[in-house]
Chain A
C-alpha cells in the first residue's frame, strides 16, 4: 500500500510544482489548470492509500516474505458470464449515433442503457450467472 501511495503522491507533487512554475512563467490558463487538475487526480487516491498504509498491516502482497498460503481464502467475487456489458455498449453506440444521425436514435439507445443498468445491477445483487 505504501509504494502505491508514494507513486501517486510523487507524481502529484511533480505536477503541482510544474503547474506552479508554468503559471508563474507563462501565465497561460489552460495548461496551468490542466496540470493542477492532474495533481489533484493523483493526490486524491494517493492520500487515501497513504492514510490507509499507516493504519493497516502489510497485506500479503506487500510482504516480501509472504507465502502463498497467506493469501488463502476468498480473493474476491468475480462474475461468470454476463450479457449486460454488451447491452450497455450497444446502448452507448446508439446514443453516439444519435449525435450524428438524429435524435430518434436516442430512444433505442437510452432504452438499452437503462435496461443494462437495471439488468447489470440486478445481476450483481443476485450473484450473476455462472
Chain B
C-alpha cells in the first residue's frame, strides 16, 4: 500500500511518475485507480447507450406505419421495457456518477484518488455484472422483462409476468443499485475528506457540488428501490402478499416505493449534467460562473424538493394528496429557473467560443427548457389527468433525457482530452451536434402533438389515423438522425485516435483538472497551485487578475500576485 504524500512532496518522489503495475486485461481487472475505473465506466456506459439506442430504433421502425407487424406485441413489450431500463439504469446514471464523476471529481478538488478505491472498483464490477444480468434476459426462454421500466404491481407478479427475464431484471437492479450506493458513499467521503488545502466547500467547482448533492440523493433514494425489489422478489417467489390485493397487500405501495426512488433518480440523473454544462459554459465564455452561490443553493433546493414530489407520477391513481405534490413539483421550477438564468448570465457579454462542447451545452439548455416547461404542465393535476400515459409524457421526458445526452456528449468533448490526452475532431463534432440536436427536436416535438391527440404510451400498433401516422413518421426520421449522430461520434473517435495531442489545458480551463497533465499521472498531481477562488487554474494562468471571489470579475490592473505554487 502506498502512503500518499501531499502533492508538493510527492513531486520530489519520481517513482510516482514511473508507476509500474499490471497492464492489459489484468490492469482492467485489478486497478483501483479512479481514472482507470472511470474509463471502464465510460466505455461500458457508452456501449449501453448504443444498445439502448438500437432498441429505440426498432421501436420507432415498428411505429412508422399503422398496423405494422415488424415485431410481435410480446417483443414490443420487451423492447420498450429494455430500452427504458438500459437507458435509465445502465447508461445515464452510471455515465453521470460512475464515469465522468469518478474521473473528474477527485481531480477537481485536488485529491489523489477516491476515498475508497477498492470500493470504487467493486462499484464498477457490480455495474458491469448487473448490465450483463439485465441484457441476458433476451437469451432466456420467455424473453426479457416486459412489464415496463417501472414494473408496476400487479403486472410484475409471478402470474402476470412469469419467467426468468423478469427475475433477471430484478437481480440486475439489485446489483446496479448497490453499485450506485457504493459510488454515493465514495463521492461523499471524497468530497468531505480529500479536498486540497484552501479548497473550501464554497470554492469547489459546481460540477463537484452537484455530484455531492447527487451522492446524497443516491444514499437517500437507492436503498428504497433495493428494499422494494426484495419485496417484489418475495411476492414473486416466496408467497408474500406485499403488493397483491388477494393477500391483503397494497399494489399502490409499489408505486410509492418505486417513485420515492424514481423521482429523486430523475435529479440524480440530471444534476451531474447540470454541473457539466455549468463548467463548459463558464470556460467557453471565458467568465466565472455567474451567481456561484445561487447555483449551489439552487442545486441544494432541487435536491431537497426532489424527495417530496414522487407521487406526481401517481396523480391518476386517485389515492394521493394532489395539492401537496402539485405544489412541491411546481416549486422545483424555481431553482431550475435560477440555474437557467445563471447559465445565460454566464454567457452574457462573455467571449463565447462555440466549440463542440459549448454547442452541446447550448443545445442542452434549449432542449432542457422544452422538457422543463412541459414538466410544469404535467405538475398540474387537471392537465396530467388529460395527458397521463399518453405520448405527451413520453415526449416530455425524452426532451429531458435527450438534453442529458447532449450534456453527456459535451462532457466527453470537454473532458475527453484530459482523460485521454487527445482532442476529438471539431468538424465531425459539429456535424454530430447538428444531427443530435435537430434529430432530438424532430423526434420529440411530434410526440407532444401525438399525446395531445390521444395516442397512448406502450402500444405496439395503432389503427390507421392519418395525423398519427404522419407524426409518427416524422418522429422516426428524428430517431434516425439521432442514430446518425451516434455513428458520427464513433467515426470521430476512430478518426481522431491519437491524432490531436491536447496539451495540459486546451480550453484555458478554470478548475484544478486543467492544472495537471493530460492524462493525469498516478495520484493525479505533481504540484498544486494556491487555491484562492473557485477557479484556481485560471488564477494561476492569468496572474494579472487577482483571485476572484464568487464571480466578482476584477479588471486586470492589479499587480501580478506573487503566490508561486509550491513546486
A75 pairs with B6, CB closer than 8 A: yes
Q: Among B124, B220, B253, point to the contact of A30 (Cβ < 8 A).
A: B253
Q: Is the Cβ of A68 less than 8 Å from the Cβ of B321?
A: no
Cβ-closest chain A residue relative to B173:
A96
Mask, B109-121, CB within 8 Å of A = 1, is: 0011101011111
CA distance A82 to B28 in the complex (A): 11
0 or 1 for each of A1-43: is its CB under 8 Å from B? (1 = yes): 0011001101100110010011001101011001100100110
A66 touches B308 (CB 8 A): no
B125 touches A85 (CB 8 A): yes
Quick one: which of A59-90 are within 8 Å of B by CB?
60-86, 88-90
Q: How many residues of B contact A (CB 8 A)?
A: 82
Q: Are A88 and B125 in contact (CB under 8 A)?
A: yes
Q: Is B168 an interface residue (CB 8 A)?
A: yes
Rounded to whole Å, the gap between the CB of B527 and the closest CB of chain A is 8
Asked if A89 meets B199 with Cβ closer than 8 Å, knowing A26-B324, A80-B2, the reply is: no
A-B pairs under 8 A by CB, number: 208
Task: Verify if B205 is at the interface (C-beta below 8 Å from A).
Answer: no
Q: Cα distance A21–B195 when bound, in Å? A: 37
Bound-state Cα–Cα, A88 to B29, Å = 12
| Contact across chains for B126 and A100 when beta carbons are under 8 A apart | no
Q: Does B170 contact A99, Cβ atoms closer than 8 Å?
A: yes
- B166-206 with Cβ < 8 A to chain A: 167-168, 170-172, 174-175, 178, 192, 194-203
Contact residues in A for B198 (Cβ distance below 8 Å): 60-61, 63-68
Contacts of B303 in A (CB 8 A): 11
Chain B residues whose C-beta falls within 8 Å of the C-beta of A3 in the assembled complex: 200-202
Q: Does B32 contact A (CB under 8 A)?
A: yes
Q: A4 touching B4 by the CB < 8 A rule?
A: no
> Are A63 and B2 in contact, with the CB atoms below 8 A?
no
The answer to the question of A92 belonging to the interface, with a C-beta cut-off of 8 Å to chain B, is yes
Contact status of A4 and B192, CB under 8 A, knowing A68-B6, A79-B118: yes
Give the dominant DSSP class at B's interface. helix
Q: A61-B199, A63-B200, A90-B129 are in contact. Are A85 and B3 (CB under 8 A)?
A: no
What is the interface residue range for chain A against chain B? 35 or more
Q: How far is the CA of A10 from the CA of B121 in the complex (A)?
A: 32
- How many angstroms from the CA of A11 to the CA of B266 in the assembled complex? 18
Whole-angstrom distance between the Cβ of A26 and the nearest chain B Cβ: 4
With A65-B198, A67-B530, A85-B122 in contact, is A96–B5 under 8 Å at CB?
no
Residues facing A in B310-339 (CB within 8 A) are 310-311, 320-321, 324
- Whether A68 lies near B167 (C-beta < 8 A) is no
* B129 / chain A contacts, CB cutoff of 8 Å: 89-90, 92-93, 96
Q: Is the CB of A30 within 8 A of B257?
A: yes
**Which residues of the partner chain A approach B29 to less than 8 Å between Cβ atoms?**
83, 86
Minimum CB–CB distance from A93 to chain B (whole Å) comes to 4
Interchain nearest-CB distance for B263 vs A (Å): 11
Contact of B126 among A11, A76, A81, A89 (CB under 8 A): A89
B524 to chain A, nearest CB (A): 11
The answer to whether B260 and A120 have CB atoms under 8 Å apart is: no
- Chain B residues 514-535 with CB under 8 Å of chain A are 523, 527-532
Taking a contact as CB atoms under 8 Å apart, the answer to whether A63 and B21 are in contact is no
Contact call B530/A78, Cβ cutoff below 8 A: no
Residue on A with the closest CB to B137? A100
Extra 13 A-B pairs, beta carbons < 8 Å, given A35-B307, A68-B566, A81-B22: A3-B200, A30-B260, A34-B260, A60-B198, A62-B201, A68-B530, A71-B197, A75-B6, A76-B115, A81-B31, A86-B121, A93-B125, A93-B129
Residues of B within 8 A of A (CB): 1-9, 21-22, 27, 29-32, 111-113, 115, 117-122, 124-126, 128-129, 132-133, 164, 167-168, 170-172, 174-175, 178, 192, 194-203, 212, 216, 219-220, 224, 233, 253, 256-257, 260, 300, 303-304, 307-308, 310-311, 320-321, 324, 523, 527-532, 565-566
Some 9 contacts from A to B, beta carbons below 8 A apart, are A26-B320, A60-B198, A67-B566, A72-B6, A75-B112, A80-B32, A81-B21, A96-B175, A120-B118
4 pairs of A and B residues whose beta carbons are closest in the complex:
A89-B125, A60-B197, A85-B121, A26-B321
